[in-house]
Amino acid sequence: MLVVTAIADLQSVIKNARLTHQKIGFVPTMGALHQGHLSLIKQAKAQTSFVVASIFVNPTQFNEAEDFKLYPRTLDVDLKMLDESGCDLVFTPTVEDIYPSKDLRKFDFGLLEQVMEGLHRPGHFNGVAQVVSKLFDAVQADVAFFGQKDFQQFAIIKAMVKQLNIPIHLVACPIVREPSGLAMSSRNQRLSKLQKEQASAIYKHLTWAKTNFKQYSLSELKNEVEKCFFSSEGLELEYFEIVDENTLIELNSWPVDVKIVACVAVFCGKVRLIDNIVFNL
């Protein structure tokens, strides 16, 4: 496995891979890797012939300086995990490599960025679009792989690719969970053992909603799920929304021809966790 920091070195390696007609797969990460990330590498290896991963903690997508400071950084461990997973190339740029000058671009994603994460983390998705567009430009991959846990982020990236006319295929991969049901996240490293037990209630409540939603009106179901979260020790609910998968429009009643996704953001102590689940109509 090769590890490069400079964009020129990255592109030189990829150019050589293309000379042998290899299909380039790309998995962008912020490091602090877990089995969820490795499942993306596995999927990339299954669908492409040369797999690139990036490790870059992007400052422009953090709303709180403290959150950026506390984000886990475990580069040596990450590189070992990627090597063992069969990744071909890891791109580890510096902030100066990605942002040689301040990125002043402002994206407009309409409603997609005005609800849920966008509402509670203003500017977050603009930072995501800035860095992902720069990474796509640097790697020039054929296919990029993302986790379904960041459901709204994937919708934003799809919209960005369309806006910028980037020739890349996007693949969303299933959420990987811990045995308790807690969605794997780099932020889980900041949870104590007790907090991990408490946070496992997130998936339990989502699963209950998926299992029982046909017995309630949509507003009734939301009320019931919110009650579950409010009574869960150690958890503070930020939002629970039931939306159209494609538009992210909040639903007021059960549709018949729309894929429904329930999305949640919860604080466990000072750690903010997100999750989602798809309802089958």
Q: What tokens appear for 173 in the block?
A: 């991969």
Of 37, 120, 169, 205, the active-site residue reads: 37
| Among 194, 56, 211, CA closest to 138 | 56
CB under 8 A, 24+ apart: contacts of 58-62: 58/30, 58/98, 58/127, 58/128, 58/130, 58/131, 59/95, 59/127, 60/99, 60/103, 60/126, 60/127, 60/130, 60/131, 61/124, 61/125, 61/127, 61/128, 61/130, 61/131, 62/124, 62/127
| Among 276, 235, 251, 252, CA closest to 117 | 276
Helices H / strands E in the chain, number of each: 11, 9
Q: What tokens appear for 12 in the block?
A: 């030189």
Is 21 among the catalytic positions? no
Residues with active-site annotation: 37
